[in-house]
Amino acid sequence: MTLRAVVKGVGHYLPERIVPNAEFEASLDTSDEWIRSRSGIERRHFAAEGETTSQMGAQAARAALENAGLTADDIDLIVVATSTADLTFPSAATMVQSELGMTKGFAFDVQAVCAGFVYALTNANALILAGQAKRALVIGAETFSRIMDWEDRGTCVLFGDGAGALVLEAQDGTGEKSDRGILATDLNSDGRYKDILYVDGGVSSQTTGHLRMQGKEVFRHAVEKLAATAHTSMDKAGISSDEVDWVVPHQANIRIIKGTAKKMGVSMDRVVVTVQDHGNTSAASIPLALSVAHSEGKISEGDVIVTEAIGGGLAWGSVVLRW
């Protein structure tokens, strides 16, 4: 008998305000055509004034709990992947815990920027397999609109806000790849590349700072590293490209998504793409894409899903799971 962390529910939350590319044309030397053709992004959601990461995370968590047919009382672990927590401390995860009215279990944040959700899933999986938790909420939630430099056309048109959540539950499996649940994970980072994607502020430098990115450099690393990590976790799980039902990639750029799928040997009709509607929502992008695909009836029980993401650090990784 092998313990598995199985997906019981999924949900998401998007802020009300939708900003189409054309809205940037008034204040920046940019165009809808440039943004679409270089990134695949058509629109993104921005949080309302006063709307926070933990509030959005809690909304996504409620949706995931409802989808799972569970309540907050059934949960004993919350992991929030975010780089844009409401406060320096406490964690966004404990704030979500409070919003949900939970008084037991434990909650903490994971900060691995755009790879955050893959890191959070891997951590939650390890805690479930170690017997530390039975049911976990794994949330990706971000308000990247708060760290944009609105004069930097190379970054501010690319990001958006939102949240997505999964409920994981410990279940007995056979140890075979036919099991439902997380089948394999792979995490990587290389701090030599810390200067190509970062925020130029933080607590110990006493500023909030803005996101800075050498887009072309990040792009150069992305396809190669994403395909490599996907292959590593697929090999660990014993899953071939033909057995993959859905690739659910980090949604940063349609060209990266297509290039990675090609290297993975998976055709685009088996790739979930939401970048056109959400932009890059960092750690929220994968659970948002999972939730949207699930609500559209694309993902069903038994499907093999590969998620992969890369972001600031550089940090990157992947998870293979059977839904």
| Residue 261 near ligand UT7 by CB under 6 A | no
* Residue (116 or 181) nearer to ligand UT7, CB: 116
| Residue 108 near ligand UT7 by CB under 6 A | no
55-58 contacts at long range (C-beta below 8 A, 24 or more positions apart): 55/99, 56/13, 56/15, 56/141, 56/143, 56/161, 56/162, 56/163, 57/13, 57/82, 57/92, 57/93, 57/95, 57/96, 57/139, 57/141, 57/163, 57/165, 58/95, 58/96, 58/99, 58/100
| Residue 39 near ligand UT7 by CB under 6 A | yes
Determine the Cα–Cα distance for residues 284 and 117; give it in Å rounded to an integer.
7
Q: In DSSP terms, which residues pair with 245 in a beta bridge?
A: none
| Residue 221 near ligand UT7 by CB under 6 A | no
| Residue 311 near ligand UT7 by CB under 6 A | yes
Separation of CA 70 from chain center: 22
Binding residue for ligand UT7, selected from 67, 143, 253, 260, defined by CB under 6 A? 253
| Residue 216 near ligand UT7 by CB under 6 A | yes
Determine the Cα–Cα distance for residues 311 and 309; give it in Å rounded to an integer.
7
Minimal distance, residue 9 CB to ligand UT7, in Å: 26
| Residue 30 near ligand UT7 by CB under 6 A | yes
| Residue 248 near ligand UT7 by CB under 6 A | no
- Do the bridges between strand 77-81 and strand 135-143 make them parallel or antiparallel, or are there none, so unpaired? parallel
- Mapping DSSP to helix (H, G, I), strand (E, B) and coil, where does residue 4 land? strand
Q: Please work out the total of residues on this chain that contact ligand UT7, with binding judged by CB under 6 A.
A: 20
* Rg (alpha carbons) of the chain, rounded to whole number: 18
* Residue (153 or 298) nearer to ligand UT7, CB: 153
Minimal distance, residue 59 CB to ligand UT7, in Å: 23
| Residue 314 near ligand UT7 by CB under 6 A | no
| Residue 305 near ligand UT7 by CB under 6 A | no
Separation of CA 96 from chain center: 17
Binding residue for ligand UT7, selected from 36, 153, 263, 270, defined by CB under 6 A? 153
Query: Which residue, chain included where needed, has tokens 């600031």?
Result: 312
Helix or strand (DSSP H, E) at 287: helix 285-295
| Residue 218 near ligand UT7 by CB under 6 A | yes
Binding residue for ligand UT7, selected from 201, 215, 259, 265, defined by CB under 6 A? 215
Binding residue for ligand UT7, selected from 67, 97, 280, 307, defined by CB under 6 A? 280
Whether the CB-CB separation of 153 and 95 falls below 8 Å is answered with no
Binding residue for ligand UT7, selected from 154, 175, 202, 238, defined by CB under 6 A? 154
**Of 160-189, which residues contact ligand UT7 (CB under 6 A)?**
none
Determine the Cα–Cα distance for residues 121 and 182; give it in Å rounded to an integer.
9
Active site residues: 114, 250, 280
Determine the Cα–Cα distance for residues 142 and 199; give it in Å rounded to an integer.
14
Q: Which stretch binds ligand UT7 (CB under 6 A): 35-43, 75-83, 89-97, 232-240?
A: 35-43
Tell me which residues touch ligand UT7 (CB under 6 A).
30, 34-35, 38-39, 114, 153-154, 157, 215-216, 218-219, 222, 252-253, 256, 280, 310-311
